[in-house]
Amino acid sequence: MKLVKHILLYSLIFFMFGCAKLNTDPYDSATEKSIFLSAESLEASVLGCYDAMQSTEYYGRNFIILQEIYSDNAKLSSLNTGQFSDLYSLQVSRGNKTIESIWETGYSIIAHCNSILSSIDSVKNITPIQAQKINGEALAIRSLIYFDLVRLFAQTYTFSNTAIAKNADSKGGHTGIPLVLNKTDRQNLSAPDTKSVNEIYSQIISDLVRADSLLSQGTFSRHRLNTQSIHALLAQIYLTQKKYDLALNYCESVIESQQFSLVDRNSFLNNWNSDNSSEIVFSISMTATDYLGTNSLAHILSPEGYGAIVPSEDLTSIYSSWDMRLEFFQKRAETFCNKYSGTNNILGLDNIPIIRISEMYLIQAECFAQKALKTPGFTSFAQESLLTIAQRSDSTIFAINSTGTDLLEDIYTEYRKEFAFEGTRFFQLKRIESSIVRTDCSETCDLTYPDKKFAFPLPLHETLIQSLTE
């Protein structure tokens, strides 16, 4: 019987991958041996990982839009011709092309990182400093992608409902995603080694700690992963695990590094995502030669493009009339999001911020507020951190007076306002174990937490492969 399963498995893999090769240019157009001949070729391959992140399938559009449309932040516009309508209806099948493309792009990046990591020792004439930097950056990139994928395709780390997720124990005991650390070719991965959510997080944290050490002497770039962006990622990860002391340590490390500062109120609207923005911790760079044009995030949002996805009144109504962030929403026949207005007014030519320093202040606020539930003395620290972000956007706010769970709700709301259409809302709802509740909607309006739909189904071919190899 096992032999029959293996025959079926190999036939299935040939059928799925033999006819069409996933386009992962620029880094798999030649054999691994011919690519990794020098430190320069390894460095170019690292850049290839960032290029893949930039793609429409990932941070360039789909990954960001998914978080907004599969939540209470966005809806389909009257101009929409079917784009992302399945996600808006909260009806995502295993064959969903948007979800599959994110999965395939993510695992292609992971496979490429694995190739880089396995090749460093065999490259001649590479200096120890070069090897450290390449090794550390590949580990950090792989960790970032795993963190993305495990949050999309598994229930949140602290999930405890065993009726929905077997072995859920509030400590990541439930099923996660395949953990691929050694196999370099995603298309030859015949038996994915699916691990628990806790095992995925443990690997992510281990790799990030190692990367942090390797990159400790490196130079800083807002468009490359480095020590500070690694610390920011660890703050996000520990917050998701509800390990507030550790999250606090890492977010404060970023804040206190003095490499970042909040853009002032007068400059924020024009400089929040620019190359020289002081608050960008990590951002995907778009240039005039490689931006995505009609396939960009801006094009799907702007009425000058498709204008297919618009902010819901559920979102826009939470801003006060004095909040400068309201200017990110453009009122026409409908309200459109113009947060990505384009460098030199070129639609789609926008950097895509992944981590901003303002998030570190709000993580700090949330950690203090959680600690204040047991030790009220932390309340003032939480209020101060929240005020830093709230007052920057709304000059009529002079103090934060809420306490306890009301303070936490204020922090959650400020986070939603600050990062609207930056690809964080769905992850936030999962992390705080909150339902999707829409009042401004035309289709399925609610998704009550907990529900299996808070984790996207693994793409169909992954499910079939796993069933054949059990």
Q: How confident is the model at residue 219, as a pLDDT?
A: 85
Residue by residue, DSSP assigns 124-187 as TT--HHHHHHHHHHHHHHHHHHHHHHHHHHS--TT---TTTSTT--SSS-SEEEE--SS---GG
pLDDT, residue 36, reads 74
**Residues with Cβ within 8 Å of residue 457, at least 6 apart in sequence:** 92, 93, 94, 96, 99, 153, 463
> What CA–CA distance (Å, rounded) separates 45 from 119?
11
pLDDT of residue 414: 98
pLDDT at position 250, please?
98
**Which amino acid, 461?**
H
CA–CA distance from 27 to each of 86, 111, 188 (Å)? 32, 11, 16
Cβ neighbours of residue 274 under 8 Å, at least 6 residues apart? 343, 351
pTM surpassing 0.85? Answer: yes
Q: What's residue 35's pLDDT?
A: 63
Per-residue pLDDT of the chain (470 residues; tens, 9 = 90+): 333 333 233 333 323 333 333 333 433 434 455 567 799 999 999 999 999 999 999 999 999 999 999 999 999 999 999 999 999 999 999 889 999 999 999 999 999 999 999 999 999 889 999 999 999 999 999 999 999 999 999 999 999 999 999 999 999 999 999 999 985 555 555 556 789 999 999 999 999 999 999 999 888 999 999 999 999 999 999 999 999 999 999 999 999 999 999 999 999 999 999 988 999 999 999 999 999 999 999 999 999 999 999 999 999 999 999 999 999 999 999 999 999 999 999 999 999 999 999 999 999 999 999 999 999 999 999 999 999 999 999 999 999 999 999 999 999 999 999 999 999 999 999 999 999 999 999 888 999 999 999 999 998 766 655 554 44
Is the Cβ–Cβ distance between 89 and 444 less than 8 Å? yes
Q: Is the dihedral of CA 262, 316, 403, 231 positive or negative?
A: negative
Classify burial at 169, counting beta carbons within 10 Å of its beta carbon; exposed 0-12, middle 13-18, buried 19 or more.
Answer: middle
Place of tokens 């769905």: 426
- The CB density around residue 371, as the number of other CB atoms within 10 Å, is 18
Phi and psi angles of residue 329, each rounded to the nearest 5 degrees, phi first: -115, 125
The residues with which 194 forms a beta bridge, in sequence order, are 178
